[in-house]
Amino acid sequence: MRVALEGRVLSENDRVAARLREGLMESGTLSLNFIGSPGAGKTAFLEKTLELLPHDLRIALLTGDIQTENDAIRLAKYGFPVKQICTGGACHLDARMVEKHVADWPLAELDLLLIENIGNLVCPTSYDLGEDGKVVILSVAEGEDKPLKYPGIFRKAELMILTKTDLLPYVPFQLEMAKQYARAVNPLIEIVETSATTGAGFGQWLAWLASRMETKRECCDSAIAEVRKVMAC
């Protein structure tokens, strides 16, 4: 019964996620789902990202927590629309939560939707939020064997962001071993080393983001062209 119920929950979530993905495709909005442990530095990473991105870029953010609006308050300082999703106990965001909170944001007016999931490497992995890609955050203050302990998210993520690299001289984190473990789980995963404190690595991250946004626009333009071609027949 438990397996059957879980299957129904995920099936319903996938249905809503597909609806979200369709809307994001039509609008050309790139959506990324950031997943990492509590304290991995997700919010600090996003703060630095917002500080560096052009302010005429049309960005919106959703940030999830069990309680408090602390992260939304931090992120709102950069002038972009932000909404906090408080789950009241659930250890992950789901597609219905996302759909509800973006309902009054015209997706056609957004270039980028960033979703900061709840601090957890397990539960959020199973829930599709209609995003274009998952980004896993791993800090050097954690164990380098996290990719082996929690392979699900590292297998599904297309990018691993290593955070807090300014702490490397002070912690026993084996950087190359962490990369090796991540690639053992997912040979295609891309890796960027960053520090929100020094700004190191953010040029590489923003270049990756710009490329991903351009790819999304090209895919959307191609899809729209195909639809128009069919309609013209």
CA angle 42, 43, 48 (to 5 degrees): 100
Cβ neighbours around 122 below 10 Å, total: 14
What tokens were used for 212? 């991903």
Please, which residues bridge with residue 35 across strands?
136
Nearest-angstrom CA–CA distance, 150 and 88: 24
CA angle 210, 29, 76 (to 5 degrees): 80
Res 7: pLDDT: 64
| Cβ-count burial 101-117 (b if 16+ within 10 Å, e if not) | bbeeeebeebbbbbbbb
Nearest-angstrom CA–CA distance, 167 and 37: 17
In order of 48, 72, 77, 102, 206, the CA distances from 51 in angstroms are 5, 15, 9, 23, 12
Please, which residues bridge with residue 64 across strands?
85
* CB half-sphere exposure, 163, CA atoms < 13 A: 25
- Strands 159-163, 82-86: pairing kind: unpaired
Full-model pTM: 0.92
Q: Name the CATH architecture for the domain at 2-232.
A: 3-Layer(aba) Sandwich (3.40)
Res 94: pLDDT: 97
Q: Determine the 3-state secondary structure of 159 from DSSP.
A: strand
Closest C-alpha among 210, 221, 218, 147 to residue 177:
147
Largest CA distance in the chain: 65
Residue ranges of the chain with per-residue pLDDT less than 50: 227-228, 230-231, 233
Please, which residues bridge with residue 63 across strands?
84, 116
